[in-house]
């Protein structure tokens, strides 16, 4: 099969391309290297450098027909979306619209999109299934929700469209140099580089952490969908507090790591976690890593990675 996977210079896109290439498929990526790097793009993947929100960059695909488009490129932080909401709309939503238009024009029959748990906002009780009301708290989440609706409409043109609402994705390969994106990677990088973790917000906040390999599995299973629009939570169904994340990292280090808690950032959700019954029943997906096992693998990787760089 021939796939377009946007954002393969980044964490999730690279992991997907890696798996697709291993399975013998052909992959092209578009990445503007805003947070990703060329080194991260798996070898064997054709690379077009540019902004996927720019129609001229899409034109460089020259009408090539893909079996599926997997759209992972975008900026992935609610906090950052407050810096420049217009850019956020372009990079996360205009890009989706352009790719859907390209899919329709070229006869591509499947599109998979990286949506987000942030579309839900805060809820009491905090467990969300796909029907839970979406009350976005950040410009980022508004854009993700708009993208979902573009997918829903384009599915009426014969494209099987799947929106995957990723919860907090973590694991080896996450960017340890970007301290504004990814809770697990931010705390881990701080512990390794500074022996000090600065937490912006309450230790009682919680998230649903889903391991990278399980996320890749969800993407591959959604490629099997043949028609219509659907949306799935990609989550473990288990809440993990910020304090648990911090203490898991601290106890894994063989030196003291201090912790400081300060005020939260704009648009931060206090805590939600996902109900994953639908993705289990419809796609046959199950998470294979719990937080303890996944985090240990990530810590081992991060320590080895940092040692290799110094
Ligand atoms: N990591 C998570 O926990 C999480 C949770 C929910 C949703 N998501 C979504 O999953 C997707 C991938 O996230 P990630 O964690 O791999 O982030 P990442 O920053 O590691 O990767 C994103 C990649 O997209 C590229 N990119 C960004 N904007 C682009 C643009 N306009 N044109 C071309 N390339 C562009 C970046 O350079 C980078 O290589 C994002 O859309 C994100 O919003 C991630």
Could you give the CA distance from residue 95 to residue 156 in angstroms, rounded to a whole number?
A: 19
Q: What is the pLDDT of residues 186-236, one digit of tens each?
A: 999 999 999 999 999 999 999 999 999 999 999 999 999 999 999 999 999
- Whole-number Å distance, alpha carbon 258 to ligand 1 midpoint, is 30
pLDDT at 279: 98
Pocket lining: 267 vs ligand 1, CB cutoff 6 Å = no
pLDDT at 256: 96
Could you give the CA distance from residue 13 to residue 114 in angstroms, rounded to a whole number?
A: 10
DSSP designation for 39 = G
Q: Give me the long-range contacts of 186-190 (CB less than 8 A, separation at least 24).
A: 187/245, 187/246, 187/249, 188/249, 188/298, 188/299, 188/302, 189/302
Picking from 107, 110, 99, the residue whose alpha carbon sits closest to that of residue 25 is: 110
- Domain 2-169+210-234 in CATH 3.40.50.720? The answer is yes
* Secondary structure (H, E, C), 143-198: HHHHHHHHHHHHHHHCCEEEEEEECEEECCCCCCCCCCCCHHHHHHHHHHHHCEEE
Asked if omega into 125 is within 30° of 0 (cis), the reply is yes
CATH number for the domain whose boundaries are 172-206+238-271+289-309: 3.90.25.10
Task: Look at the chain and count its residues.
Answer: 310
Instruction: Choose one of 38, 51, 72, 96 to mutate for the ligand 1 pocket test, by most ligand atoms within 8 angstroms of C-beta.
Output: 72
Instruction: Choose one of 5, 10, 141, 240 to mutate for the ligand 1 pocket test, by most ligand atoms within 8 angstroms of C-beta.
Output: 10
Backbone angles phi, psi at 12, to 5 degrees: -75, -45
Could you give the CA distance from residue 15 to residue 215 in angstroms, rounded to a whole number?
A: 9
- Whole-number Å distance, alpha carbon 13 to ligand 1 midpoint, is 7
Pocket lining: 7 vs ligand 1, CB cutoff 6 Å = yes
DSSP designation for 81 = H
- Whole-number Å distance, alpha carbon 166 to ligand 1 midpoint, is 12
User: What would the two tokens of residue 127 be?
Assistant: 């467990």
Picking from 133, 64, 88, 130, the residue whose alpha carbon sits closest to that of residue 266 is: 88
Residues 6+ apart with CB under 8 A from 285: 214, 217, 218, 221, 232, 234, 276, 279
Q: Do 176 and 299 touch, CB atoms closer than 8 A?
A: no
pLDDT at 79: 86
Picking from 228, 94, 71, the residue whose alpha carbon sits closest to that of residue 161 is: 228
- Whole-number Å distance, alpha carbon 256 to ligand 1 midpoint, is 32
pLDDT at 9: 98
User: What would the two tokens of residue 153 be?
Assistant: 């409409």
Which residues of the chain carry a pLDDT beneath 50?
A: none
Q: CA–CA distance from 291 to each of 152, 206, 209, 298, 306 (Å)? A: 32, 12, 7, 10, 22
- Whole-number Å distance, alpha carbon 304 to ligand 1 midpoint, is 24
Q: Do 103 and 69 touch, CB atoms closer than 8 A?
A: yes
User: What would the two tokens of residue 171 be?
Assistant: 């694991």
Q: Domain-by-domain residue ranges, the chain? A: 2-169+210-234, 172-206+238-271+289-309
- Whole-number Å distance, alpha carbon 74 to ligand 1 midpoint, is 4
Give the position, in ligand 1's atom list, of the atom nearest the Cα of 73: 24
Could you give the CA distance from residue 115 to residue 112 in angstroms, rounded to a whole number?
A: 9
Could you give the CA distance from residue 140 to residue 12 in angstroms, rounded to a whole number?
A: 17
What is the CB neighbour count within 10 angstroms for residue 152? 15
Pocket lining: 81 vs ligand 1, CB cutoff 6 Å = no
């Amino acid at each position: 099969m021939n796939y377009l996977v946007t954002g393969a210079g980044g964490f999730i896109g690279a992991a997907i391309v890696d798996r697709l290439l291993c399975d013998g498929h052909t992959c092209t990526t578009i990445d503007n290297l805003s947070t990703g790097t060329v080194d991260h793009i798996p070898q064997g993947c054709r690379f077009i450098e540019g902004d996927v929100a720019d129609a001229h960059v899409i034109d460089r695909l020259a009408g090539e027909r893909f079996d599926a488009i997997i759209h992972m490129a975008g900026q992935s932080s609610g906090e950052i979306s407050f810096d420049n909401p217009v850019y956020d709309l372009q990079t996360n939503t205009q890009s989706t619209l352009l790719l859907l238009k390209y899919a329709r024009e070229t006869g591509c029959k499947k599109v998979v999109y990286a949506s987000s748990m942030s579309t839900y906002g805060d809820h009491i009780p905090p467990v969300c299934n796909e029907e839970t009301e979406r009350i976005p708290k950040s410009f980022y989440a508004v854009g993700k929700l708009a993208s979902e609706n573009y997918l829903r409409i384009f599915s009426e043109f014969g494209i099987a469209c799947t929106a995957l609402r990723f919860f907090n994705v973590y694991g080896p390969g996450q960017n340890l140099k970007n301290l504004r994106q990814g809770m697990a990677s931010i705390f881990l990088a701080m512990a390794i580089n500074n022996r000090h973790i600065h937490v912006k917000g309450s230790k009682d906040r919680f998230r649903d952490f889903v391991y990278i390999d399980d996320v890749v599995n969800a993407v591959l299973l959604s490629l099997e969908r043949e028609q219509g629009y659907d949306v799935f939570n990609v989550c473990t169904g288990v809440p993990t507090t910020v304090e648990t994340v911090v203490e898991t990292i601290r106890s894994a280090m063989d030196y003291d790591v201090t912790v400081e808690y300060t005020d939260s950032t704009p648009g931060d959700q206090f805590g939600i976690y996902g109900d994953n019954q639908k993705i289990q029943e419809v796609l046959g997906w199950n998470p294979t890593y719990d937080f303890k096992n996944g985090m240990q693998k990530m810590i081992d990787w991060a320590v080895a990675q940092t040692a290799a760089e110094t």
